[in-house]
C-alpha cells in the first residue's frame, strides 16, 4: 500500500460542500489532483441556502497539498458530464478515482420547502422522488464516462457514496440508496478483469453544512466530519489490493480500523445503526 496519491487524478462530484467536499479535501491532502464538480460557483448561486462553491473547495484542496481544479457541472445534464470527462482526458490523459457524491435528496429540507424531516412520505413533495433518484442516474452516467478512460489504463477506482438501509417508510431515499449499492455490485464483475474496483461507501452521521443547519434537532455526539469519509476514499485509492473489495458496500468506520486512520479529531466514529 502506498502512502500518497501524488500523480493520481480524481473527480469528485457534488463537492462544493458536504461529504463530497470532505472527500475532495482528503484526496488533496494525500497529494492528488482533484477535479471538484458541482452546480455552485462564483457565477451561479447555490440552489439551497448553504455555503460553498467549487472554487472554494478547489482552493482548499490546493492549500492541503494537492491540486484542486474547479469545474461547474450540473450532473443532471449529460452533456455537461460528458464535457467534464473530456476535459480531464485532454488535460490529464488519465483518471484514477471517481467519487459519485452528487445528490439532491435533502434540498427540500435545506430550503425549508420540505420540512420537517419526520413527515410521512405522502406528505412530502412528489419531486422528492426525482431529487433522490437523480443521484443514482448521475452516478451511472459519470461512471460510464470514467470507465471508458479507466479501461484504457486497465486500472481505476469508482466510489459511490451510499447509506446502509435497515428500515422502511422513506421510499424515495431508501430506494435510491439501495439502488446505489446495487449499482456498485452490478458494475464490479465485468470491470474486475480490467483492474477497476467499484464500491459503495457508508458514512455515519456526517456534520455537513446541511446537517449543522438543523443541529438543534439532532444528537451529534457520535457524528463525524466529512473528511473522515474522504480519508476512507484516500485509503482505498492507495491500496494496491483494492480489487479484493470490488462490488462490496463498505463502512467508513470499518475501513478506519483496517487502514488505521482516524477522523480529524483523532477519533473513530462507529454508527449506532450498523
Q: Catalytic residue positions?
A: 173
Cα–Cα distance, 160 to 86 (Å, whole number):
21
The DSSP secondary-structure symbol of 119 reads: -
CB 183 within 8 A of CB 191: no
Q: Is 60 helix (H, G, I), strand (E, B) or coil?
A: helix
For residue 157, which of 110, 192, 105, 126 has the smallest C-alpha distance? 192
Instruction: Cite the DSSP H helix spans in 71-126.
Output: 78-92, 107-110
Indicate the length of the chain as a whole number: 274
Cα–Cα distance, 142 to 261 (Å, whole number):
28
Exposed, middle or buried by CB within 10 Å (0-12, 13-18, 19+), for 76? middle
For the chain, percent helix, then strand, then coil, each to nearest 5? 45, 15, 40
CB 30 within 8 A of CB 117: no
Report CA 43 to chain centroid distance, whole Å: 23
For residue 63, which of 100, 25, 92, 14 has the smallest C-alpha distance? 25
Cα–Cα distance, 234 to 236 (Å, whole number):
5
Amino acid at each position: 500500500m502506498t502512502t500518497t496519491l501524488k500523480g493520481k487524478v480524481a473527480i469528485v462530484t457534488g463537492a462544493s460542500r458536504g461529504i463530497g467536499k470532505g472527500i475532495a479535501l482528503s484526496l488533496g491532502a494525500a497529494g492528488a489532483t482533484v477535479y471538484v464538480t458541482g452546480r455552485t460557483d462564483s457565477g451561479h448561486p447555490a440552489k439551497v441556502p448553504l455555503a460553498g462553491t467549487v472554487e472554494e473547495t478547489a482552493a482548499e484542496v490546493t492549500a492541503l497539498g494537492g491540486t484542486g481544479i474547479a469545474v461547474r457541472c450540473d450532473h443532471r445534464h449529460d452533456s455537461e458530464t460528458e464535457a467534464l470527462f473530456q476535459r480531464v482526458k485532454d488535460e490529464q490523459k488519465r483518471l484514477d478515482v471517481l467519487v459519485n457524491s452528487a445528490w439532491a435528496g435533502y434540498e427540500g429540507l435545506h430550503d425549508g420547502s420540505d420540512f420537517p424531516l419526520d413527515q410521512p412520505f405522502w406528505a412530502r413533495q412528489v419531486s422528492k422522488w426525482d431529487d433522490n433518484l437523480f443521484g443514482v442516474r448521475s452516478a451511472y452516467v459519470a461512471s460510464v464516462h470514467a470507465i471508458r478512460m479507466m479501461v484504457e489504463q486497465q486500472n481505476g477506482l469508482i466510489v459511490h457514496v451510499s447509506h446502509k438501509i435497515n428500515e422502511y417508510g422513506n421510499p424515495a431515499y431508501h430506494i435510491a440508496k439501495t439502488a446505489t449499492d446495487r449499482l456498485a455490485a452490478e458494475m464490479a464483475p465485468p470491470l474486475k478483469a480490467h483492474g477497476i474496483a467499484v464500491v459503495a461507501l457508508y458514512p455515519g452521521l456526517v456534520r455537513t453544512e446541511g446537517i449543522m443547519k438543523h443541529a438543534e434537532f439532532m444528537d451529534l455526539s457520535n457524528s463525524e466530519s466529512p473528511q473522515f469519509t474522504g480519508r476512507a476514499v484516500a485509503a482505498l485509492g492507495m491500496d494496491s489490493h483494492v480489487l479484493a473489495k470490488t462490488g462490496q458496500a463498505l463502512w467508513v468506520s470499518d475501513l478506519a480500523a483496517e487502514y488505521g486512520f482516524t477522523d480529524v479529531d483523532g477519533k473513530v466514529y462507529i454508527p449506532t445503526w450498523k
